[in-house]
Amino acid sequence: MASANTLKAADSGLAAVMIGPKGLRPGWRLLIFLLMLVAMGAVTRAIIIRFLIPAGFAPEKFTPSSVAVPDAFFVFIIAVAAWVMSKIEGRKIGQYGLPFKQGLMKHLWLGLWIGFLASSATVLIIYLLHGIQIARPTIHGTTILTSAAAWGGAFLLSAIAEEFLFRGYAQFTLTTGIGFWPAAAVLSALFGLGHLSNKGETIFGAFSVVSFGLLLCLFLRRTGSLWCAVGFHLGYDWSQTFFYGVPNSGFTPSHNLFNVTLHGSQWLTGGTVGPEASVICPLVLAVVAILFSLRDREAQLTV
């Protein structure tokens, strides 16, 4: 039978593994967060399959509703999980990247315009290199406004969900353990791997997604919150999907403004994945990163 001293030593060893100088170690906190996401995600998936698909919801089609419905559930799940972790850790939920404070709209709008311009620059360069043909608008009148608003709302939810998942709680927690940029590299790599599950995604497309992740981490580092990154994510996805109508991560959009045809080498156009898999995309993102670094030179994020 184990002696009292042996049991005490075992308990001390376990406590050292679980608890560090600043409380529960980052790895365990992140594991708890992810387990909550998996559990609540399984319930949500069952709800969507049971109640939404029979009612005509078609997730295989790339429409505002196919983006908005699952992402609305996911935003709720992430918010609940982050709230629970904030209580466990004794922090404010805004510390994980999405604070409601002065300057929120400024950063959101800044990111939105940067995202729109970056997407437009990519499409324009491919066009000048004869890789894109742009036809007349495919929708007219009030349909333009309703489609623009629907895609905008859908991609806002998508941006909040993806940014908080990869650059919110996880980025904050890993930063407390291994530092900001090592955490950014790990999570950006996972961000790229996650996109490989998308229909038609390619290795180079996933590489571009990693580039997106690192750029968005730069926005987080220099502005102190995720709102600029959310705006960029929204502006980029909205412009390429609704405004230009090019494929987005392998998904062909519907209810889009222009009818765009890609032709030529896949390295130039991105093929079925869309311009984000073009060699032009990471080059444009690199230029954005340099210009943004010159504009905001000081790191604002503190953990």
Quote the pLDDT of residue 6.
52
Quote the pLDDT of residue 174.
92
Contact 150, 241 (CB under 8 A): no
User: Which residues are CB-contacts of 256 (< 8 A; sequence separation ≥ 6)?
Assistant: 138, 139, 147, 241, 242, 243, 244, 245
Q: Is residue 242 part of a domain?
A: yes
Domain membership of residue 232 as a residue range:
4-295
Quote the pLDDT of residue 302.
63
User: Which residues are CB-contacts of 296 (< 8 A; sequence separation ≥ 6)?
Assistant: 222, 223
Q: Is residue 303 part of a domain?
A: no
**Count of structural domains, the chain:** 1
Quote the pLDDT of residue 249.
79
Q: Is residue 258 part of a domain?
A: yes
Contact 150, 64 (CB under 8 A): yes
Q: Is residue 8 part of a domain?
A: yes
Q: Is residue 167 part of a domain?
A: yes
Model confidence pLDDT, tens digit, residues 260-274: 888 888 889 988 888
Q: Is residue 92 part of a domain?
A: yes
Q: Is residue 142 part of a domain?
A: yes
Q: Is residue 47 part of a domain?
A: yes
Query: Which segments of the chain have a pLDDT < 50?
Result: 1, 7, 9-11, 56
